[in-house]
Structure 1
Amino acid sequence: MADERFDLSYTGAIAPDADPAQVRERLCAVFKLAGAGCERLFSGKRVVVKRGVDATTVAQYRQVFTQAGAVLEVTPSERAAPAPQPVRPAPDGPVEDPTGSPETLARIDAEALALAPQDGFLEPSRTVKMPAIDTSHLSLVQGADWTLADCEPPPTPIPTPDIDHLALVDIEPEEQRQERSD
């Protein structure tokens, strides 16, 4: 049981009574995420926070996520347990909440928790293979005085109808029409 390992992941779920804006702010501050890294954490997709951790680390992460108002998912890991590392004492005093509120997030052992780089991602980026597209037939509009209207294709001309076979005739006066109908 002591060798059991867990994977920690987050899908953007928050506690029912938590404010989403505060949860986002607190988690991004704890993991020192900004911009794209924070967006990725709250994308709604499963993001692996940490793999192959022991029960003590699970408890620490769960406490941080719970105090932030988020729901952490813990699943048994399929990875082999790493070699044991010496235990270091926790730093003195609690870590202050960056929002300025008096509540504390947790005591975090600096060696037990690893944070992603501030401008980095929690998972490595994937290489996308794009097909080669021939753009040799495209060109740019010359000069600085162009508008998007210059990029529109010319309108299709409307053909002029052939009316040569038509002729105008005089209109019969009303009296002649009545005489014919009688």
Structure 2
Amino acid sequence: MSDELFEVAFSGQIKDGADLEQVKAKVGTMFKADATKLEHLFSGKRMVIKKNIDQATANKYHKALDNAGAVCEIKSLNEAARTKPAEPEVKVATAAPVTVATSAGLNVDAPAAPQTDPLGINAGDISDLSAGIAPLGSDMQDEIKEVDEPELDISGMGMSPVGSDLGQIKKDDDPPPPNTDGMTLVD
């Protein structure tokens, strides 16, 4: 069995001689789509309907859409992965013109020289770098330097036994209720 995967895309195109409203109705019932989803499908933009499917399933989608009067596209995802995307065009940034008063004593007429060595490494020196690959399981950390322990005087400190009070502020007991013996209720 082939491992090739496909995607089915639709860009709102219909067959010649087909009625747009009938095609929308058929596609709507096929995908159980409401009016807003149908407008989105028929907007003219390429919409992927189903992806990561085998060729037989892609052909079923193509046949169903073809019967409805819609024109769909089947594209191999493996082919897209094999082809390298085009290199993006590199745009050179230009500095905005700087306005400096001539009384500052700066020469603004001469353009700044372009920086040709941005990292401070010449191409010829790259082979001189001391980088390598360590064997499996080797220690990647640099040597740890031993630090002398500081001399602390803790002779004035002591340890309390387990469960003892460590100096927390004790919560005062609730005050007693007020004495209401001298009060009476009258109907």
Query: Which TM-score applies when normalising by structure 2?
Result: 0.40
TM-score (norm 1): 0.41
Q: Which has the larger Rg?
A: 2
